[in-house]
Amino acid sequence: MRHAGWMLATLLALAPGVSRAAEPGQTQWKLANFTWVKRVPAEPGAPANAHPATLSEEALVAALGPVLTAEEGQDVPLFAKEELKRLTKALREALALAQPGEDVILLSTFKRGGGFMEMPLGLTARLFVRDGALNLIVHDARLPFMDRYSADRTLPAFAYGSRTAGSGGTIQAPGATGLRGDWLALPLAAAPAPAPAQIPALAQPPAPALPAPGAPATLRDAAFYEAQAQRLKALKRLRDENLLSEAEYQEKREAILKTL
């Protein structure tokens, strides 16, 4: 009977929900029995978010895919590829409908160990867009609740991350601003520039100017500098709202300036 309960719990956790187009007033997206995305009121006192936020599924994958968490002393992807693929449509729709006073929370339950007998593990997080960045606060990166659920149908009180209280977890990603161990501000890719107008056949474009001998090559474009400016603005706002100490602010500001 114990084995049967484990199998039932696993099937319930992974069974896909019904996929349908988002409705204007939709507040939750149930993707499986223990996988969902929801719009919820932001925490009391939180500054307004840049919502509604129009992001493509590709932009969400680019932002969230590189995020790593620590597991048994090793850095591993926070989201499995198939897991993130399942979540992005719901996240895109939720952020597009969210209001300035709302956050988006998620619970994602997925088999992360790879073995047949491995129990699915939960991941809980809070997301919102501010200052050109997707903020990700993770409460539980690997929550082992399915074993208890298979035994007596008891579910935990899921927590989704908070601006004011850290969870003790650790996440990281290249190019992201670490606002706390469990909180990243992930820069969003700039929209592609419009294609240049067609040049008539007889109008030859001027030859590009060659750099002076010995001049260093330019490796960063305007989008890079805009992303760093947004990161600096986000840090200043966090300091002004007393979410970062002056020492933390100066340390992180110096780290950003060194990349310029």
State the 10-residue block means of pLDDT for the chain, 260 residues long.
43 48 84 95 96 96 96 92 95 97 97 75 97 97 88 89 94 96 90 48 52 48 72 80 80 80
Cβ-contact 257, 251 below 8 angstroms: no
**Position 126 in a domain:** yes
Of the residues 136, 168, 187, the one at which a domain ends: 187
**Position 215 in a domain:** no
Do 182 and 232 reside in the same domain of the chain?
no
36-58: buried (b, 16+ CB within 10 Å) or exposed (e) per residue?
bbbbeebeeebbebebebebebe
**Position 161 in a domain:** yes
The per-residue pLDDT for 4 is: 42
Do 122 and 250 reside in the same domain of the chain?
no
Do 117 and 242 reside in the same domain of the chain?
no
What separation, in Å, do the N-terminal and C-terminal C-alpha atoms of the chain show? 61
The per-residue pLDDT for 199 is: 43
Reading the block at residue 3, the tokens are: 């084995």
- What's the rounded Cα separation, in Å, for the pair 48 and 46? 7
Reading the block at residue 141, the tokens are: 């990166």
Tokens 């929801």 correspond to what residue? 38
Cβ-contact 107, 157 below 8 angstroms: no
Do 30 and 132 reside in the same domain of the chain?
yes
Do 96 and 149 reside in the same domain of the chain?
yes
**Position 211 in a domain:** no
Number of domain units in the chain: 2
Do 175 and 122 reside in the same domain of the chain?
yes
Contacts for 164 with CB less than 8 Å, ≥ 6 apart: 43
Entry pTM: 0.67
Do 182 and 230 reside in the same domain of the chain?
no
Do 114 and 235 reside in the same domain of the chain?
no
* Centroid of chain to Cα 79: 10
**Position 54 in a domain:** yes
User: How many C-beta atoms lie closer than 10 Å to residue 11's C-beta?
Assistant: 11
The per-residue pLDDT for 107 is: 97
**Position 217 in a domain:** no
**Position 196 in a domain:** no
Do 232 and 177 reside in the same domain of the chain?
no
Q: The domain containing residue 46 runs over which residues?
A: 2-187
The per-residue pLDDT for 7 is: 42
**Rounded to 5 degrees, what are φ and ψ at 6?**
-60, -45
- Of 18, 29, 31, 33, residue with least CA distance to 149: 33
The per-residue pLDDT for 210 is: 52
Of the residues 165, 187, 209, the one at which a domain ends: 187
Of the residues 187, 206, 236, the one at which a domain ends: 187
Residue 135, SS3 per DSSP: strand
Do 29 and 99 reside in the same domain of the chain?
yes
**Position 214 in a domain:** no
Do 21 and 150 reside in the same domain of the chain?
yes
Beta bridge partners of 69: 76, 171
- What's the rounded Cα separation, in Å, for the pair 246 and 167? 22
- What's the rounded Cα separation, in Å, for the pair 91 and 49? 15
- Of 60, 140, 52, residue with least CA distance to 102: 52
